[in-house]
């Protein structure tokens, strides 16, 4: 099924999550490597935090305070939704169209510094917010990128990517701070990816083959 015959031993786990058994019964052919989980502890943690915080706001500011925040955040949510859809589609398309063997060659465990640089460049130019970056990163993992290159991509998106910098950081923090922050951040994605690989092959030595 997977055209991975000539690929080196992939650091990224192949079909990672055995597709979450129960909750996804509706779906006949789950794509390998995508996180598919039912509502888990992460959602519960945040839910509890939100509930506690909302109660505190209510006791402090009354119902008006609660509604104030609610309307504001509902507006934000409405604005983000189409972008979330775009990100999901982008991730799905990319995982279908990227040739697995080519990805594992240029972003896989054997890709060296070049793979980290490609991952970093990709993260830096990727449009959108978390709703794009994480689905796309997940797609890369699924088609043969290793942890190192994917780390470079995610870190580059978050630190060097222009999306958040232009939309939020520039207006709030000012141009001087933002530009210096990005300059200082430039080497970090490659360093983080290299460090990630360094740790990975020592944590999972049976798979590492340098």
Partner 1 sequence: MSAALLIDLILWGSVAAVGFIAYRKGPMVMTTSLREGGVDFIRIVPRIALGVIGSGYIAAVIPQEVITGWLGPDSGWLGVATAVVAGAATPGGPVVGFSIGAVALKAGGGPPQVLAYVIAWALFAFQRLLLWEIPFMPARFVWFRAAVSIPFPFVAAAIAMAIHKP
The residue within the footprint of partner 1, chosen from 4, 105, 181, 207 (CB under 8 A), is: 181
CA distance 115 to 190: 9
What is the spatial distance between Cα 24 and Cα 44, in angstroms, rounded to a whole number?
Answer: 19
Scan residues 47-76 and list those touching partner 1 (CB under 8 A): 47, 49-50, 53-54, 56-57, 60, 65-66, 69-70, 72-74, 76
The Cα–Cα gap between 208 and 210 comes to 6
Complex with partner 1: residue 95 or 111, whichever CB lies closer? 95
Site for partner 1 in 12-41 (CB under 8 A): 13, 16-17, 27, 31, 33-37, 39-40
Q: Is residue 113 involved in binding partner 1 (CB under 8 A)?
A: no
Closer Cβ to partner 1, 5 or 42, answer by number: 42
Residue 169 engages partner 1 in binding (rule: CB under 8 A): yes
**Residue 161 and residue 126 in contact, taking contact as beta carbons nearer than 8 Å:** yes
Exposure string (b/e) for 23-46, b if CB count within 10 Å is 16 or more?
eeeeeeeebbbbebeeeeeeeeee
Q: Dihedral angle at the C-alpha atoms of 120, 126, 129, 135, nearest 10 degrees?
A: -80
Is the torsion defined by CA of 203, 205, 207, 208 positive or negative? positive
In this chain, which of 104, 111, 120, 138 binds partner 1, going by CB under 8 A? 138
Give yes or no for residue 92 binding partner 1 (CB under 8 A): yes
117 near partner 1, rule: CB under 8 A: no
The residue within the footprint of partner 1, chosen from 67, 77, 114, 209 (CB under 8 A), is: 77
């Amino acid at each position: 099924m997977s055209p991975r015959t000539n690929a080196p031993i992939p650091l990224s786990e192949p079909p990672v999550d055995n597709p979450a058994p129960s909750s996804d019964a509706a779906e006949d052919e789950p794509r390998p490597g995508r996180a598919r989980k039912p509502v888990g502890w992460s959602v519960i943690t945040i839910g509890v935090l939100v509930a506690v915080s909302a109660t505190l706001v209510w006791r402090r500011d009354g119902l008006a305070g609660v509604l104030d925040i609610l309307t504001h955040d509902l507006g934000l949510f409405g604005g983000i939704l189409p972008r979330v859809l775009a990100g999901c589609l982008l991730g799905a398309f990319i995982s279908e169209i990227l040739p697995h063997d080519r990805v594992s060659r240029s972003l896989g465990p054997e890709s060296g510094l070049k793979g980290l640089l490609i991952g970093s460049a990709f993260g830096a130019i990727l449009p959108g917010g978390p709703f794009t970056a994480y689905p796309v990163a997940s797609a890369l993992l699924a088609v043969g990128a290793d942890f190192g290159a994917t780390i470079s991509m995610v870190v580059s998106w978050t630190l060097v990517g222009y999306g958040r910098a232009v939309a939020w950081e520039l207006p709030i923090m000012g141009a001087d701070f933002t530009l210096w922050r990005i300059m200082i951040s430039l080497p970090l994605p490659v360093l983080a990816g290299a460090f990630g690989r360094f740790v990975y092959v020592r944590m999972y030595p049976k798979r590492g083959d340098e």
